[in-house]
A and B are shown apart, each in its own frame.
Chain A
Amino acid sequence: MTRRADRVVIAVLGLVLAGLGTVLVLAAGDVLDLDEPATLLDRAARSIDQRPALWLGLLALAAGLLVAIGARVLRRSLLRPSRPAAIELSDGPRGRTRLEPAAIERAVRADLRHVDGIRASRVTLRTTGPRPRLRVVLTLDPALADVAAARAATEAAYRRLATCLALEGVRADLVVRVGKRSTVSRVH
């Protein structure tokens, strides 16, 4: 789940709580002209008794909505996106050749391993097809951090991958990070 989505969920919860609190505070201060709590409760109970199908149906809808939202929030927060199926390279009378996503990820990682300044890389294949989507996270050495060179190296790796697998191209999301300095303190 993205940070922005997290914030929207928190803000909505906050608005609901603050709205409820405001209504109760206004009612307590006689600013809102509401019936007494016991009267409202009795009226609600009578209404449910008179039309149970309608009210239970509405309550079930609301509860179902809560279950759906809760499940979606939890799934997006806790579960990783599912891995795509293998890429089919060929399917002919002699058989079928498929390539697992892990093989593609390893190939791109290996391609980037020996680039100067790149300390580590993490590659994830998000989707397959003629233009697969990759997510690449590079960690650069702070002393040699050349973002332009790292980007050029990844572009070259994408091109090699596309050529090697006869793909139309590669869509990519690249995140460049800079690692921590290995020396904690120096005195000159």
Chain B
Amino acid sequence: MSTKKILLVDDSCTARLVNRMIFSQKTNYVLISAVDGKEAVERAKREMPDLILMDIVMPRMTGLEACRALKKDKETEKIPVILLTTRGEEQFVQEGYASGCSDYLTKPVNDVELLDLLRAYLGE
């Protein structure tokens, strides 16, 4: 079975660092990253990750806009997108699902919860 690839999208260096540490120590997933929605869409088309883990509030293109763009594109529409954000209010959660995301997690991230969710989508 080939190694699964995750595209992590976050403008926060701290968030990218902590997720990279969690993944590298506990999984065999390959992690690639982008710092905003625009880069995420480009990178997703180019690298076809198995899953996208994406923040919402980002410069240039938000996570919601990027998610909508990915779901509109035939090449990337099937890639599951998990939105990972500080915005836990109901309104934001609803907007998240309306953009086409598969799941929605709030920060601060809980490593067990995050890994369980990823395994549910990607397997071990």
Genuine A/B complex: no
